[in-house]
């Protein structure tokens, strides 16, 4: 046990040194975080899964990450953030309208690039709000010109659509035109809607499960 004090002193040195390495690595990394930025603007104080939520009998699979009917809790949180909720049937209807009238409804995919490429609502614009510099210049003019902007992410516990919508609103998109689709891709796929894969406008679609 005589080695322990030395080990503790060594541990302090290692922790400080490794933390400094971490800071430098993060600064040099192309995907590094910006330390001063608030990535979760107006975030609710409580983590979402800590809320007492009722699992949907149709969708719960026994795991905490199973799709959950967050209904009222999500609506309440979105209203507190000044955002409007849109349900699956309305989104499907708007999607049908959007096919005939260009720019009437714009769909914004708030997931990361890999998730977007693996499948998104046809014609949706990628907008990873954690890296706005890559997407905002292209997305913002489209949103400003649209009558309705529908923001979605994966659904379930995903909150990225809410943060993306807040960022769009703060960038000038009228709140009256902004809608969050909490069901997200999970709900969209469950409704049997088409899913485009690859980049936006690729024209390639995922085969529907039989």
Which residues bind to another protein, rule: CB under 8 A? 1-15, 17-19, 21-23, 25-26, 29, 31-40, 43, 45-53, 55, 62-65, 112, 130-131
Sorted by sequence, the CB contacts under 8 Å of residue 172 that are 6+ apart come out as: 140, 144
Nearest-angstrom CA–CA distance, 128 and 111: 6
Nearest-angstrom CA–CA distance, 182 and 71: 9
Contact between 168 and 128 under an 8 Å Cβ cutoff? The reply is no
Q: Could you give phi then psi for residue 60, rounded to 5 degrees? A: -65, 135
Which is closer to another protein, CB of 13 or CB of 87?
13
Residue 59 CB, nearest distance to another protein (Å)? 13
Nearest-angstrom CA–CA distance, 42 and 1: 50
Residue 63 CB, nearest distance to another protein (Å)? 5
Residue 186 CB, nearest distance to another protein (Å)? 15
Which is closer to another protein, CB of 101 or CB of 114?
114
Residue 76 CB, nearest distance to another protein (Å)? 16
Which is closer to another protein, CB of 28 or CB of 176?
28
Which is closer to another protein, CB of 14 or CB of 104?
14
Which is closer to another protein, CB of 22 or CB of 82?
22
Q: Could you give phi then psi for residue 156, rounded to 5 degrees? A: 65, -125
CA 125 to each of CA 96, 139, 196: distance values in angstroms, whole numbers, following the listed order: 17, 7, 11
Residue 67 CB, nearest distance to another protein (Å)? 13
């Amino acid at each position: 046990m005589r080695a322990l004090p030395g080990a503790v002193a060594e541990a302090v040195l290692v922790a400080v040194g490794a933390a400094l390495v971490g800071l430098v690595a993060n600064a040099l990394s192309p995907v590094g975080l910006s330390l001063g930025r608030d990535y979760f603007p107006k975030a609710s104080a409580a983590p979402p899964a800590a809320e007492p939520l009722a699992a949907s009998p149709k969708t719960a699979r026994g795991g905490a990450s199973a799709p959950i009917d967050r209904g009222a809790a999500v609506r309440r949180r979105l209203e507190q953030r000044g955002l409007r909720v849109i349900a699956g049937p309305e989104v499907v209807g708007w999607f049908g309208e959007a096919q005939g009238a260009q720019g009437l409804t714009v769909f914004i995919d708030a997931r990361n690039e890999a998730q977007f490429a693996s499948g998104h609502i046809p014609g949706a614009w990628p907008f990873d709000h954690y890296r706005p510099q890559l997407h905002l210049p292209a997305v913002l003019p489209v949103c400003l010109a649209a009558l309705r902007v529908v923001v979605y992410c994966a659904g379930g516990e995903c909150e990225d659509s809410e943060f993306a919508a807040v960022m769009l609103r703060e960038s000038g998109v009228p709140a009256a035109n902004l809608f969050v689709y909490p069901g997200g891709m999970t709900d969209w796929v469950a409704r049997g809607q088409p899913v485009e894969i690859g980049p936006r406008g690729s024209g390639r679609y995922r085969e529907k499960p039989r």
